[in-house]
Amino acid sequence: MDARVPWMTYKVIGWLNHSLKKDWKVFEWGSGGSSLFFEEKVAFLFSVEHNPKWYRQIKRMLSKKVVYKLIKPESDGRGYRSTDVSFQGCSFRHYCRSILTFPDNFFDLISIDGRARNDCLKLARKKVKIGGYILLDNSERKEYRRGINFLKGFVRRDFRGNGPVNEYPWQTTVFQRKT
Protein backbone atom coordinates (compact mmCIF):
# COMPACT_ATOMS: atom_id res chain seq x y z
CA MET A 1 0.00 0.00 0.00
CA ASP A 2 1.18 3.50 -0.88
CA ALA A 3 1.89 5.49 2.32
CA ARG A 4 0.56 8.65 0.62
CA VAL A 5 -3.01 7.38 0.37
CA PRO A 6 -5.62 8.51 2.91
CA TRP A 7 -7.15 5.72 4.98
CA MET A 8 -10.61 6.68 3.75
CA THR A 9 -12.98 5.17 1.21
CA TYR A 10 -11.68 4.93 -2.34
CA LYS A 11 -14.68 6.92 -3.51
CA VAL A 12 -13.82 9.93 -1.35
CA ILE A 13 -10.15 9.65 -2.38
CA GLY A 14 -11.38 10.00 -5.97
CA TRP A 15 -13.45 13.02 -4.95
CA LEU A 16 -10.42 14.57 -3.22
CA ASN A 17 -8.21 14.00 -6.28
CA HIS A 18 -10.76 15.86 -8.38
CA SER A 19 -11.67 18.59 -5.87
CA LEU A 20 -8.48 19.67 -4.07
CA LYS A 21 -6.87 22.87 -5.35
CA LYS A 22 -3.23 23.97 -5.07
CA ASP A 23 -4.20 27.17 -3.20
CA TRP A 24 -6.32 25.43 -0.55
CA LYS A 25 -5.75 25.58 3.20
CA VAL A 26 -6.48 22.31 4.99
CA PHE A 27 -6.78 21.41 8.68
CA GLU A 28 -6.83 17.80 9.81
CA TRP A 29 -7.43 16.02 13.08
CA GLY A 30 -5.75 12.63 12.81
CA SER A 31 -2.66 12.24 10.66
CA GLY A 32 -1.13 9.60 8.44
CA GLY A 33 -1.56 8.78 4.78
CA SER A 34 -3.96 11.70 4.47
CA SER A 35 -1.26 14.13 5.66
CA LEU A 36 1.20 12.84 3.08
CA PHE A 37 -1.52 13.01 0.43
CA PHE A 38 -2.63 16.55 1.32
CA GLU A 39 0.87 18.02 1.54
CA GLU A 40 1.45 17.33 -2.16
CA LYS A 41 -1.86 18.82 -3.29
CA VAL A 42 -2.55 21.97 -1.23
CA ALA A 43 -0.82 25.23 -0.24
CA PHE A 44 -1.15 24.88 3.54
CA LEU A 45 -1.71 21.91 5.86
CA PHE A 46 -2.10 22.10 9.63
CA SER A 47 -2.28 18.60 11.11
CA VAL A 48 -2.90 17.51 14.69
CA GLU A 49 -2.05 14.08 16.11
CA HIS A 50 -2.58 12.65 19.62
CA ASN A 51 -0.39 9.50 19.49
CA PRO A 52 3.35 10.18 20.12
CA LYS A 53 4.59 7.02 18.40
CA TRP A 54 2.47 7.61 15.28
CA TYR A 55 3.43 11.31 15.32
CA ARG A 56 7.17 10.48 15.23
CA GLN A 57 6.64 8.00 12.38
CA ILE A 58 4.65 10.41 10.21
CA LYS A 59 6.80 13.47 11.04
CA ARG A 60 9.82 11.80 9.42
CA MET A 61 7.90 11.59 6.12
CA LEU A 62 6.38 15.10 6.05
CA SER A 63 8.01 18.13 4.47
CA LYS A 64 8.83 21.25 6.44
CA LYS A 65 5.92 23.12 4.83
CA VAL A 66 3.40 21.14 6.91
CA VAL A 67 2.58 22.47 10.39
CA TYR A 68 2.36 19.25 12.40
CA LYS A 69 1.47 19.24 16.09
CA LEU A 70 1.45 16.51 18.71
CA ILE A 71 -1.28 17.25 21.26
CA LYS A 72 -1.73 14.41 23.73
CA PRO A 73 -4.94 13.92 25.71
CA GLU A 74 -5.22 15.38 29.18
CA SER A 75 -6.08 13.18 32.13
CA ASP A 76 -8.65 15.54 33.67
CA GLY A 77 -11.51 13.88 31.76
CA ARG A 78 -13.63 17.03 31.44
CA GLY A 79 -15.42 17.07 28.11
CA TYR A 80 -13.92 16.64 24.65
CA ARG A 81 -14.10 12.88 24.93
CA SER A 82 -13.16 10.21 22.47
CA THR A 83 -15.68 7.43 21.81
CA ASP A 84 -12.76 4.96 22.03
CA VAL A 85 -13.00 3.27 25.45
CA SER A 86 -9.19 3.11 25.72
CA PHE A 87 -9.32 6.88 26.31
CA GLN A 88 -11.96 6.74 29.04
CA GLY A 89 -11.31 9.52 31.57
CA CYS A 90 -9.24 11.53 29.09
CA SER A 91 -10.04 14.91 27.58
CA PHE A 92 -9.01 16.01 24.12
CA ARG A 93 -9.73 19.66 24.88
CA HIS A 94 -6.43 21.12 23.64
CA TYR A 95 -6.37 18.75 20.67
CA CYS A 96 -9.86 19.79 19.54
CA ARG A 97 -9.47 23.46 20.34
CA SER A 98 -6.21 23.79 18.38
CA ILE A 99 -8.32 24.94 15.41
CA LEU A 100 -9.43 28.00 17.41
CA THR A 101 -6.07 29.68 16.74
CA PHE A 102 -7.34 30.30 13.21
CA PRO A 103 -9.96 32.86 12.16
CA ASP A 104 -13.46 31.86 11.15
CA ASN A 105 -13.95 31.06 7.44
CA PHE A 106 -10.25 30.21 7.04
CA PHE A 107 -10.05 26.62 5.74
CA ASP A 108 -11.14 25.20 2.40
CA LEU A 109 -11.21 21.68 3.85
CA ILE A 110 -11.25 20.30 7.38
CA SER A 111 -10.64 16.56 7.68
CA ILE A 112 -11.79 14.73 10.82
CA ASP A 113 -10.32 11.27 11.26
CA GLY A 114 -8.97 11.45 14.80
CA ARG A 115 -10.24 11.63 18.39
CA ALA A 116 -13.27 13.41 19.89
CA ARG A 117 -14.90 13.76 16.48
CA ASN A 118 -18.19 15.15 17.76
CA ASP A 119 -16.40 18.09 19.37
CA CYS A 120 -14.22 18.53 16.28
CA LEU A 121 -17.33 18.73 14.11
CA LYS A 122 -18.81 21.41 16.34
CA LEU A 123 -15.64 23.52 16.23
CA ALA A 124 -15.04 23.02 12.50
CA ARG A 125 -18.32 24.46 11.30
CA LYS A 126 -17.26 28.12 11.69
CA LYS A 127 -13.65 27.59 10.65
CA VAL A 128 -14.47 26.29 7.17
CA LYS A 129 -15.09 28.84 4.41
CA ILE A 130 -18.48 29.30 2.81
CA GLY A 131 -18.32 26.84 -0.06
CA GLY A 132 -15.67 24.83 1.80
CA TYR A 133 -15.87 21.27 3.08
CA ILE A 134 -15.75 19.25 6.28
CA LEU A 135 -14.80 15.61 5.74
CA LEU A 136 -15.75 13.01 8.37
CA ASP A 137 -14.39 9.49 8.07
CA ASN A 138 -16.35 6.56 9.53
CA SER A 139 -19.48 8.72 9.37
CA GLU A 140 -21.77 5.68 9.46
CA ARG A 141 -21.01 5.19 13.16
CA LYS A 142 -23.95 6.00 15.43
CA GLU A 143 -21.72 7.71 17.96
CA TYR A 144 -21.04 10.55 15.49
CA ARG A 145 -24.69 11.49 14.95
CA ARG A 146 -24.51 14.15 17.68
CA GLY A 147 -21.61 15.86 15.92
CA ILE A 148 -23.22 15.58 12.51
CA ASN A 149 -26.25 17.41 13.91
CA PHE A 150 -24.04 20.50 14.35
CA LEU A 151 -23.79 20.72 10.56
CA LYS A 152 -27.39 21.63 9.82
CA GLY A 153 -27.47 23.75 6.69
CA PHE A 154 -24.44 21.99 5.21
CA VAL A 155 -24.94 19.89 2.06
CA ARG A 156 -24.11 16.24 2.77
CA ARG A 157 -22.53 13.77 0.35
CA ASP A 158 -21.81 10.20 1.49
CA PHE A 159 -19.06 8.05 -0.03
CA ARG A 160 -19.62 4.42 0.93
CA GLY A 161 -17.33 1.57 -0.05
CA ASN A 162 -13.99 -0.05 0.57
CA GLY A 163 -10.70 1.66 1.16
CA PRO A 164 -6.99 0.91 1.42
CA VAL A 165 -6.90 -0.46 5.00
CA ASN A 166 -10.14 -2.29 5.76
CA GLU A 167 -11.54 -5.38 4.07
CA TYR A 168 -15.10 -4.22 4.68
CA PRO A 169 -17.03 -1.20 3.41
CA TRP A 170 -17.49 1.93 5.50
CA GLN A 171 -18.50 5.52 4.89
CA THR A 172 -16.74 8.85 4.56
CA THR A 173 -18.97 11.93 4.34
CA VAL A 174 -18.21 15.37 2.95
CA PHE A 175 -20.30 18.30 4.18
CA GLN A 176 -20.24 21.52 2.17
CA ARG A 177 -20.91 24.82 3.93
CA LYS A 178 -23.45 26.87 2.00
CA THR A 179 -23.98 29.86 4.35
The SS3 of residue 73 is: coil
Domain presence at residue 167: yes
How far apart CA 47 and CA 111 sit, in angstroms, is 9
Number of domains in the chain: 1
* Residues 112-126 pLDDT 10s: 999 999 999 999 999
Nearest partner of 102 among 85, 124, 87, judged by Cα:
124
CATH code of residue 90: 3.40.50.150
Q: Determine the average pLDDT of the residues in 115-141.
A: 98
Quick one: pLDDT at residue 134?
A: 99
Q: Is residue 23 part of a domain?
A: yes
By C-alpha distance, which of 60, 78, 76 is closest to 68?
Answer: 60
What pLDDT digit, counting tens, does each position of 159-179 carry?
A: 999 999 888 999 999 999 998
Question: Could you list the residue range(s) of the whole structural domain that residue 139 is in?
Answer: 10-177
Residue 4 lies in a domain: no
Q: Please give the single-letter amino acid code of residue 4.
A: R
Question: Does some domain include residue 133?
Answer: yes
For residue 3, pLDDT over 80 is answered with no
Q: Taking the alpha carbons of 52, 58, 63, 65 in that order, is the dihedral positive or negative?
A: negative
pLDDT in tens, 6-59: 999 999 999 999 999 999 999 999 999 999 999 999 999 999 999 999 999 999
If one counts every other C-beta atom within 10 angstroms of the C-beta of residue 133, the result is: 25
Q: How many C-alpha atoms does 54 have within 13 Å on its Cβ side? A: 15
| Beta-bridge mates of residue 49 | 70
Q: Evaluate whether 155 touches 178 at the Cβ level (below 8 Å).
A: yes
- Specify if 117 maps to a domain: yes
* Residue 5 maps to a domain: no
Classify residue 3: in a domain, yes or no: no
pLDDT category, 1, cuts 50, 70, 90?
Answer: low
Q: Which of 58-67, 71-80, 114-123 has the lowest mean pLDDT?
A: 71-80
Please list, in sequence order, all residues whose beta carbon lies within 8 angstroms of the beta carbon of residue 151, skipping any fewer than 6 positions away: 121, 125, 134, 175
Residue 71 lies in a domain: yes
